[in-house]
Amino acid sequence: MGESLADRFDLEGFSHDWHRTGAAALTALRLRDYALVISDIRLPDMTGDVLFEQLLTEQRSLPPFIFITGHGDIDTAVRLLKRGAQDYITKPFDLDALIDKIHGIVAPEDASGTGSLGCSPVMRQIEAMLPRLAASAASVLITGESGVGKERVAQALHQLTGADKPFIAVNCGALTESLLEAELFGYEKGAFTGAVRTKKGVFEQAHGGTLLLDEIGDMPLSMQVKLLRALQERCIVRVGGETPIPVDIRLVCATHQVLQEAVIRGDFREDLYYRINVVELRIPPLRERSEDILPIAQHLLAEIADASGKPPPGLTPAAEHAIKAYRWPGNIRELKNTLERASLMSDGRSISHDILFDRPAPPLSGQLDMAGSLRDYLNECERDFIVHALDGCQWQIQCCADSLGISRKNLWEKMRKLEIVKGSDAD
Ligand SMILES: Nc1ncnc2c1ncn2[C@@H]1O[C@H](COP(=O)(O)OP(=O)(O)OP(=O)(O)O)[C@@H](O)[C@H]1O
């Protein structure tokens, strides 16, 4: 039966492992994330319910289980359903019925994305749209809070248009206007002091591939005019140069800002807005797609463990619960940093709640001052927390941004807004 199942799964395009004993399956289930397990109740070395119970006692998050039972085992199968198994099927069974059950549990890959960006309906929808976007030349605007995975989505789109072509990303918010112009369009030797040789800008580097302009909302207005011209004419001129150079790029822009509001405020050109925003992909914050949190966490844990050649640690039920309940203000970037730290500190087998959230609470010293507004109070908490984190990282911005789970730029912005300057605090 195993052989015919394996043959049929190959035909269906399912990737699968066939373990011939309960012990082999146990080992594999401890090491790999499966989307689904199909197990006979009677195995050569143990029973399916012993296998299932064993995994439950190890407090792992289990994939859905479908049990195959003979008529005499139906009581066991029903008991397993009560213990959390997904379904059972009785022998002799129709293979088509089993395939239907599998499709009902594991969404078919081509209908709504593979789930590599997340398994929530919204992320599957975005993933399912990518092949259509890849087939058109339309400019795509990806919006969402910092760390939600905007660049990841841009890369996924790029992969569909030819992974061998260049993918170049540039952060438009991190550079001053003159540096940005040189970065985007390149410069000729001698164009300015320090221009000792001719350099291609990102438009030329991305020729034939994808150019991601990140934080496009932070681009100065005067640069927006130059960008618009380059996009309209499909040509750039290097700083200090005169010759127009044709460029063929797929443009993807990303921002955490609401660009319509920036247009209304006069901070973003309306004509550029329409040019870059032929299609908008809105990525919701992680807290609004909580069904993505655990799968992404497990994927990240596997990735982190893989980098050091170890099997991924599991999450204890309390840790799983907390990870789902936490709001992740820094989104996937914060989740990734948290898991990296927790992986380092764990015993390699499981990550508990304490290890996961060992961050100190904001020091709310003394009595609460009820005189100010809630905003003032929250700013004060945020300020304390950031200063504390900066102290912990000897004021190294990158280290602190990583520990807070926000981008370096975001940290700079917060420091500016909250007037945090090294040495300004009495302590
Ligand atoms: N679906 C995902 N699965 C696993 N890791 C992800 C996923 N999406 C994003 N990440 C990881 O989360 C981190 C942040 O993602 P990314 O840089 O794409 O976010 P962003 O929205 O572009 O952030 P920012 O606005 O700050 O530039 C990266 O390390 C990325 O690899």
For the segment 33-55, the average pLDDT, to the nearest whole number, is: 90
* Distance separating alpha carbons of residues 314 and 349, to the nearest angstrom: 6
Let me know whether 236 and 220 are in one domain.
Answer: yes
Measured from the CB, is residue 407 less than 6 Å from ligand 1?
yes
Q: What percent of the chain has pLDDT over 70?
A: 93
Please determine, for residue 162, whether its predicted confidence score (pLDDT) is greater than 70. yes
Let me know whether 295 and 268 are in one domain.
Answer: no
CB of 240 closer than 8 Å to CB of 187:
yes
- pLDDT confidence tier of residue 185, bands split at 50, 70 and 90: very high
Query: Could you tell me which of 389, 373, 273, 377 has the C-alpha nearest to residue 330?
Result: 389
CATH code of the domain covering residue 375: 1.10.10.60
Domain boundary among 308, 326, 356: 356
Please give the distance, rounded to the nearest whole angstrom, from the Cα atom of residue 383 to the centre of ligand 1. Answer: 25
Q: Which helix (H) or strand (E) holds 252?
A: strand 250-255
Let me know whether 349 and 275 are in one domain.
Answer: no
Let me know whether 66 and 100 are in one domain.
Answer: yes
Atom of ligand 1 at shortest range from CA of 409? 26
First to last CA, the chain: 71
Measured from the CB, is residue 401 less than 6 Å from ligand 1?
no
More confident residue, 282 or 9: 282
Q: Is 25 exposed, middle or buried (0-12, 13-18, 19+ CB in 10 A)?
A: buried
* Positions of E strands within 239-299: 245-246, 250-255, 279-282
Measured from the CB, is residue 199 less than 6 Å from ligand 1?
no
* Distance separating alpha carbons of residues 14 and 35, to the nearest angstrom: 10
| Angle between the N-to-C axes of helices 121-135 and 150-162, in degrees from 0 to 180, rounded to the nearest 10 | 40
pLDDT value of residue 425: 45
Please give the distance, rounded to the nearest whole angstrom, from the Cα atom of residue 219 to the centre of ligand 1. Answer: 21
Please give the distance, rounded to the nearest whole angstrom, from the Cα atom of residue 37 to the centre of ligand 1. Answer: 30
CB of 360 closer than 8 Å to CB of 388:
yes
Its pTM stands at 0.63
More confident residue, 143 or 69: 143
Domain boundary among 74, 105, 136: 105
Let me know whether 96 and 238 are in one domain.
Answer: no
Alpha helices in 346-422 (DSSP H): 353-356, 374-392, 397-404, 408-417
Let me know whether 239 and 140 are in one domain.
Answer: yes
* Distance separating alpha carbons of residues 279 and 203, to the nearest angstrom: 21
Let me know whether 253 and 145 are in one domain.
Answer: yes
List the 65-69 sheet strands across, edge first: 37-40, 65-69, 87-90
Let me know whether 234 and 156 are in one domain.
Answer: yes
**Which tokens is 14 given?**
């399912």
Q: Which helix (H) or strand (E) holds 213?
A: strand 210-214
pLDDT digits (tens, 9 = 90+) for 148-158: 999 999 999 99
Domain boundary among 282, 300, 316: 282
Determine the residue of 150, 152, 257, 328 to mutate for testing ligand 1's pocket, defined as the one with the most ligand atoms within 8 A of the Cβ atom. Answer: 152
For residue 254, give the DSSP letter: E
Let me know whether 265 and 369 are in one domain.
Answer: no
pLDDT value of residue 366: 47
Let me know whether 30 and 151 are in one domain.
Answer: no
Measured from the CB, is residue 118 less than 6 Å from ligand 1?
yes
**Which tokens is 188 given?**
């000729």
**Which tokens is 48 given?**
């399916």
Please determine, for residue 60, whether its predicted confidence score (pLDDT) is greater than 80. no
Q: Range of 302's domain?
A: 288-356
Let me know whether 239 and 305 are in one domain.
Answer: no
What is the per-residue DSSP string for 34-58? -S-EEEESB-SSSBHHHHHHHHHHT
- Does 113 reside within a domain? no
- Does 116 reside within a domain? no
Please determine, for residue 110, whether its predicted confidence score (pLDDT) is greater than 50. no
- Does 111 reside within a domain? no
Overall number of domains in the chain: 4
* ipTM score: 0.98
**Which tokens is 109 given?**
């890959």
Please determine, for residue 161, whether its predicted confidence score (pLDDT) is greater than 70. yes
pLDDT digits (tens, 9 = 90+) for 261-271: 999 999 999 99
